[in-house]
Structure 1
Amino acid sequence: MSMTIPDTGNTPQKDTGSMPTVKQNKGGLEGIIAATTAISKVDGTAGRLIYRGYDIHDLARTSTFEEVAHLLWFGHLPDQKELASLHEKFVAERTIPELVLHNIRELPDNSQPMDVLRTAVSAWGAISISGKPSIDQAIAATARFPLFLAAFNRYRQGLEPLESRSELGHAANYLYLLTGELPKEEHVRGLNSYLVLLADHGMNASTFTARIVASTESDIASSLVAALGALKGPLHGGAPSKVQDMIHSIGSVENAEPWIRNAITTGGRLMGFGHRVYKTFDPRAEELREMARVADPDNFLLAHHVEETAQRLLDELKPGRRLYTNVEYYSAALMNAVGLSGDLFTPTFAVSRCAGWTAHILEQANNNRLIRPEAEYTGPLSETFVPLSERK
């Protein structure tokens, strides 16, 4: 997510997706309640994110991605037996059908990984998914997202995809499949916490898109493909690599203030600043800041200096705006530290968010009502029809 300086995210009830009254707004559906959910709560005023009652800070510091996925899908944190069972199910699903591998292999090496992931999920869904969305399908999809990405990443380097290692967790196996090396423990911890932090975030654009598709009684793969299309956009999940580009463009501590001041005064963009919901610090950004500090101290110094400088200049030049770094700002620093290329940042967001998307798809499907909002028509009402031969 970026900020343009001058002008500047329980089970459904029967009426989920309907709008009992038409509420005027400026666009973007701010303030419109489109569904009820027991999955996560975003408190933008207090700067809190809660997954099924648990504070995100506690989960990010103490839980694995698998535990959080279980929480989102089943409604409670797993005990040791339940966690072991979920790991076994993940391991069993760590395969790619040959047809899907063929499709990935035939895509050009310069394809965007988000496009590759969308294509792979669609192809996999065409041959593997049928019937009403289920938890088994949610597990199958979530297990395969990192495999699809890693396979393409290997192919574009002239290498063959690797077999998953059953002893590795979700984050560690993803890093192994990308590099062919057992990852460093600090990299696994950093990526695992990232996956926990990004697993769900209320009724954001991609989740809403997934629920709309699910509300038509379409299949889980179609809902996920639609969600991926929404996440790709730079106003939603497509900004982390652009944060990295901005930091590289600034280049040094000495250049930070003149670069940022120029961007603010000329209407440029500060990537990774501002959020549609949070009016204070994004709690995910707070966790990622500390992880980035540990994972890559040298690069963190410049990123942190840019954050502090931008905040000071925004307070000076745009007072009262309350614009802070969002989750994407330090996501870039952390993912760069664990060795991911910039074009894998947003797809890795999807690796995490697949758990939340599928939880919302299941919630929608279990007590469904077609999501069909109203639109306020602003065009003419009384035009006179003129036959084609008489039009001038």
Structure 2
Amino acid sequence: MASVTGLEGVIAAETELSLVDGQNGNLVYRGYEAKELALHKSFEETAYLLWYGSLPSQETLNEFKAQWVAGRTLPATLESVLDLLPNESDMMSILRTAISVLGTGDNTQSAWPPSDKAIIAYTALLPTIIAYKYRQSRGLSPIAPHTDLDHVANYLYMLTGEIPQPSHVKVLTAYFILAMEHGMNASTFAGRVVLSTQSDLASALCASIGAMKGPLHGGAPSEVLHMLDEIGSKDRAEEYLRNQLASGKRLMGFGHRIYKTNDPRAEALRRIMTELSSEDPWFELAVHVEKTAVDLLAVYKPGRNLYVNVEFYAAAVMRAIELPPHLFTASFTASRMVGWTAHLLEQASCNRIFRPQSTYIGELPVSLRQS
């Protein structure tokens, strides 16, 4: 059997969670287009869909949100550990350590198979961990979770101590929904492999976080952010982009390994930013830069069909809400926790340990060599 480097194209599992259709530009969560969920549903509603297979009724949603609110408060033991971690520690290492600490506590959170209580607890708590350590690193007092705010709005509130602008909540909620789940990516696969050994939820999530930390997977869209900062205003966009293309440089945020047509996640974010462009100059700039770039790419790279990808609009979102760049990957992780835990629940429901083969290409002992 021929080996496949990186397992590219190898089907490792069947899933009911998501369809990533790169040829046609579709992303589906359990029978719903992800871009429509991003436009019309809340983070909590979409999490419920991925975890349980249907959208909740209003009564169920209210009860579900109450569970999230109850799970936002840092346990005293974890708070003590976070206080001991150096303020200069990178946020992904902090999250990995925090999840490991949580896994040493309540037995219901470390049991196999994972429980509903445990997945909600981990997912609800992650933004609190990020905000707590972020503010501590800046010499600021932590902000307690706000019981009247939804998951995404509360995250922004805990970072700044101010009730966030509705436009910022809307666009970050959309981004978080679109980043929740994306098939058998490296971090999701890492978590499923660990859980397939009947290890505990915390161990599987630490594996996922470790994979997400790598720059080839969870790297922040810093190059796109740099490009938008250099452009600065709409009247500079065309000249800047022409110069980049004329000198043979790549436009950051265009083209995608999987999506060979429009990235549906970028489509949804563009639509929201277009609607909100009058409320935030960065939304207006991002939409203008994309349109200008697509027109120029058709001239400079005819036939390449290069489209904007989600990283372009992710950078615009993060810049608009003034999220510090070193929190980008951690914020992405706070969203992807839903997808990871959904996959872990699915893995546990039909578990078989992963055990791929490898092809030996080293030396053989003399006794085993063919004459």
Instruction: Return the TM-score normalized by structure 1.
Output: 0.84
CA displacement at 1:256 relative to structure 2: 2.5
Residue aligning to 1:130: 110
1:189-338 alignment to 2 at 5 Å?
189-249=170-230, 252-253=236-237, 254-262=239-247, 265=248, 270-293=251-274, 294=276, 297-308=280-291, 310-311=293-294, 314-315=297-298, 319-338=302-321
Aligned residues: 358
1:357-368 alignment to 2 at 5 Å?
357-368=340-351
Deviations 1:209-252 (A, max 9, x none): 11111111111111111111222223222132332123334554
Secondary structure of the corresponding residue to residue 78 of structure 2: helix
Among 58, 64, 68, the residue aligned to 2:36: 58
Among 74, 90, 93, the residue aligned to 1:96: 74
CA displacement at 1:320 relative to structure 2: 4.5
Question: Is 1:159 aligned to 2:147, yes or no?
Answer: no
Secondary structure of the corresponding residue to residue 217 of structure 2: coil
2-side partners of 1:23 and 1:80: how far apart? 52
CA displacement at 1:144 relative to structure 2: 0.5
Partner amino acid, structure 2, of 1:130: S
Q: Residues 189 and 307 of structure 1: is their aligned pair in 2 closer, same or farther, counting only changes over 3 Å?
A: closer
Residue aligning to 1:30: 8
Residue aligning to 1:140: 121
Residue aligning to 2:359: 376
Partner amino acid, structure 2, of 1:152: K
CA displacement at 1:23 relative to structure 2: 5.7
2-side partners of 1:230 and 1:314: how far apart? 33
Partner amino acid, structure 2, of 1:239: A
Deviations 1:83-129 (A, max 9, x none): 11111111111121223223322333333222222222222222243
CA displacement at 1:28 relative to structure 2: 2.7
Among 11, 17, 32, the residue aligned to 1:39: 17
Aligned alpha-carbon RMSD (Å):
2.3
2-side partners of 1:313 and 1:109: how far apart? 44
Give the unaligned 5+ runs of structure 2. none
Secondary structure of the corresponding residue to residue 127 of structure 1: coil
CA displacement at 1:342 relative to structure 2: 1.4
Identity of aligned residues (%): 49
Residue aligning to 1:70: 48
Question: Is 1:339 aligned to 2:294, yes or no?
Answer: no
Among 169, 174, 190, the residue aligned to 2:150: 169
Q: Residues 183 and 301 of structure 1: is their aligned pair in 2 closer, same or farther, counting only changes over 3 Å?
A: closer
Q: Residues 246 and 125 of structure 1: is their aligned pair in 2 closer, same or farther, counting only changes over 3 Å?
A: farther
Instruction: Return the TM-score normalized by structure 2.
Output: 0.89
Residue aligning to 1:5: none
Partner amino acid, structure 2, of 1:368: N
Q: State the structure with bigger RCO (CA 8 A, min sep 6), 1 or 2.
A: 1
Structure 1 residue runs of 4+, over 3 Å off? 22-25, 249-252, 268-271, 300-323, 380-385
CA displacement at 1:301 relative to structure 2: 4.9
2-side partners of 1:358 and 1:154: how far apart? 27
Question: Is 1:106 aligned to 2:84, yes or no?
Answer: yes
